Amino acid sequence: MSQPRIVFLDGHTLFSNDLNPDDLNVCGHFTFHARTPQSQVLERGKDAEVLIVNKVHLGEEEFAALPNLKLVCVAATGYDGIDTIAARAHGVTVCHCEDYSTLSVAQLTLSLLLSLADGVDETFRSTRAGGWAACPDFCYSVRPRFELAGRKLCIVGMGNIGRAVAAVMKPLGLILSAVTSCPQSELPDGVGKVTLEEAFATSDIVSLHCPLRADNRGMVSAELLAKTRPGLILLNTARGALVDETAVAEALHRGQLGAYCADVMSQEPPSAKNPLFTAPNAYITPHIGWATVEARRRVITQLIENIQSFFEGKPQRVVS
C-alpha cells in the first residue's frame, strides 16, 4: 500500500520552534506549512489525502474542490472550523484530538485566579522597579491580597476540563458549584448543581469551561451581567465568543464585574480596538492554556494515531 499524502496547513502554534514536525513523517509523505491563508487552502491541499488543520476553515467549497481528500485531522479538540455535514457528504472522515490539554488548561485557570488574588505580576514589576528597595519596612505591598478559601466558585461546563478545574480548586477551600447538563448524582463530591442565572447572581467567581455552540454564543450577555453579583470575578479559558465582550467591558467599567480573566477572545488574533484592552481589571493571555510542551506532544501522538488507525480501517476519535 502506498503512503498517503499528508499536508499540515497551519502547524506553527503546535510546534512553536521547539518540537519537530518531521515526527509526522512516519505517517506518509508529509508536507508542513506554518500558516496557510484561506485563499491558498485549495492549492496547497489539492493532492492531499489527509489534511491536518488547527484553525483553517474547511467548508463545502473546500470539500467539493478536493476530490482526493479522505481524512481531516484537527490538531485540537474543538472542530467548529470544519463543516462536518459537508465533510460527510463528500465522504471525508473528520477526527480530532481528545483530552490532551485538560491539565494544562486547568493549570492556567488556576494561575489566572491566583495571579488576581495575589497580585503577583504587579508585585514582580514594582519590586524590580525598586519599590521594595525604597520602602522603609520589611514587608512591601503593592495592593491588598485576598484569600480564596470560603469563596463561591461556579464552574460552567463539567466536561474533562471543568472536572479538572474543580479538582485543583477544591484544596484551596473554595465552595464549588456547577452549571451542567449532568445529573447531580454524576457530579464530584461537594459540587452542587445550579442554573446559569443562579451562578452569576450568587457566586464570587464563575469559570467558563463549556464548548461553543450556536445556542450558547454570547450567553454572558448584558442582560445576564445586569443581574450579576457586584464584584464577580469571571474566568474564561473556554471560548471567547461565549461572552459579549462589549457587555463585559462595560460591566468592568461600572464595577459590576470585579475582574475578567480570559485566555480566549471572540476574534483571534483580536482587534487592537477590542474594548477589553481599555477596560479596568481585564487580564488577557493570548490563548496559551492548551500550549504546554507536554500537551502539544500529546497532540502529535494523537495525530499519528488518528492517521495510522484510519488507513488500517479502524478510525478513532471520529467526529464526522
In this predicted model, what pLDDT tens digit does every residue of 86-142 receive, in sequence order? 999 999 999 999 999 999 999 999 999 999 999 999 999 999 999 999 999 999 999
Q: How many residues make up the chain in this entry? A: 320
**What is the distance between the alpha carbons of residues 114 and 108, in angstroms, rounded to a whole number?**
10
Work out the average pLDDT over 245-255. 98
Work out the average pLDDT over 187-213. 96
State the total domains in the chain: 2
Share of the chain above pLDDT 70, in %: 100
In a domain, 316, yes or no: no
List 147, 186, 268, 294, catalytic entry: 268
CA nearest to 170, candidates 193, 184, 150, 145: 150
212 and 222 share one domain: yes
In this predicted model, what pLDDT tens digit does every residue of 23-51 receive, in sequence order? 999 999 999 999 999 999 999 999 999 99
Alpha-helical (H) ranges within 70-151 are 84-89, 102-118, 120-128
Question: Is residue 213 annotated as part of the catalytic site, yes or no?
Answer: no
Question: Is residue 287 annotated as part of the catalytic site, yes or no?
Answer: yes
In a domain, 320, yes or no: no
Residue 11, domain CATH? 3.40.50.720
pLDDT at residue 17, as a whole number? 84
The three cell numbers of residue 275 are: 474594548
**Residue 285 pLDDT exceeds 90:** yes
pLDDT tier at 183 (50, 70, 90 boundaries)? Answer: very high
Work out the average pLDDT over 57-68. 97
| Structural domain boundaries enclosing 58 | 5-100+293-311
List 239, 296, 298, 317, catalytic entry: 239
pLDDT at residue 2, as a whole number? 77
Residue 16: CB atoms within 10 Å: 11
CA nearest to 192, candidates 148, 153, 238: 153
DSSP structural state of residue 4: P
Work out the average pLDDT over 253-263. 97
**Residue 10 pLDDT exceeds 70:** yes
Provide the mean pLDDT of the chain.
96
Residue 115: CB atoms within 10 Å: 15
Work out the average pLDDT over 188-198. 95
In this predicted model, what pLDDT tens digit does every residue of 135-172 receive, in sequence order? 999 999 999 999 999 999 999 999 999 999 999 999 99
134 and 58 share one domain: no
51 DSSP β-pair partners: 7, 72
List 253, 287, 297, 305, catalytic entry: 287
In a domain, 163, yes or no: yes
Share of the chain above pLDDT 90, in %: 96
CA 9 to chain centre: 20
191 and 306 share one domain: no
**Residue 1 pLDDT exceeds 60:** no
303 and 168 share one domain: no
Question: Is residue 239 annotated as part of the catalytic site, yes or no?
Answer: yes
